[in-house]
Structure 1
């Protein structure tokens, strides 16, 4: 059921929102075109610069490298007349690229992404991770994961930087073979 508000309630709500927006703009140092020189705002004056010991630097796969890996995996599958989808995710599990091959099943899109996410999350091929379910069956309940063979992690200096997942071939072993072909393309 949708609740309707009186005009008075809508006007009061609108005024409250505008006041909040104006207060936020002031807090972040927004200045109108007619204002004089900008003075240091309390928010800017209290900003702190942290030392290099308080931060880390991480390595990420480039989009160009992700596309190269995905295309190599898809090409490997097409050479064997397999209709698959390939997904490459970054070190945080965010999708960089997904290529859905001609004729790949609709379920393969999400499966490839979830396999890639699983491989990068545990820094292990999903065929290996699928075997762990016998000892820890609740692993399969972790959101976004798929413990089926078909994905491999990509590492740099022994740290995961991406995951390549393939789905749609008749077996997970084939999917993983194609994912490995994608990873191998990054070493050339």
Structure 2
């Protein structure tokens, strides 16, 4: 008969010990009294907070954001302009971005920043540009871009989204296209 190596004996012994242990556990589990029931779990706590310390906000659906972005891009295309369009939610998070054929590489990021800026102050970015002489540090806020081309989307008097456009020769044109996207949501 061949002798097993020390390693083989250790592995075999460990496996046998584990098997014996599992058998003992099974025997204990089977031998448990029938009247021993598991402790009842507490019912799930329903968190339905209704206090003056909470509020709800409206948001655009992805379908509405896509519709607005496409209407914006269509308005720019009709004017023979190559632009990028960004639609952001109330928190400035991008919902959808479309980069038109031939739009410049800078337009993608600029459109997002214009939309973020418009929703942050619930104002068209062209209006915000006019405020810079009195508040020059506004432009130092990260993620903002104070150039025409951002338009807020409102519901019940408050901002719920914004559309930013970049790539046309002027911010006025960018903003005109963004307003076309906002208008498409009312149709």
Aligned-partner Cα distance in 1 for 2:95–2:184 = 16
Aligned to 2:182: 183
Aligned-partner Cα distance in 2 for 1:185–1:38 = 58
Q: Size of the alignment, in residue pairs?
A: 150
Shift of 1:58: 1.0
Q: After superposition, what is the alpha-carbon deviation per residue over 1:95-130, rounded to whole angstroms, capped at 9, x for unaligned? A: 000000000000000000000000000000000001
Shift of 1:50: 5.5
* Unaligned segments of structure 1, at least 5 residues: 1-35
* Unaligned segments of structure 2, at least 5 residues: 1-36
Name the TM-score, length of structure 2 as normaliser. Answer: 0.75
Aligned-partner Cα distance in 1 for 2:38–2:175 = 61
> Any residues of structure 2 matched to 1:1-188 within 5 Å, and which?
40=41, 49=47, 51-53=49-51, 54-188=53-187
Shift in alpha-carbon separation, 1:124–1:37, aligned structure 2, 3 A: farther
Stretches (4+) displaced over 2 A: 36-41, 47-51
**Max radius of gyration: which structure?**
2
Aligned-partner Cα distance in 1 for 2:38–2:65 = 46
CA RMSD of aligned residues (A): 1.9
Shift in alpha-carbon separation, 1:49–1:168, aligned structure 2, 3 A: same
Name the TM-score, length of structure 1 as normaliser. Answer: 0.75
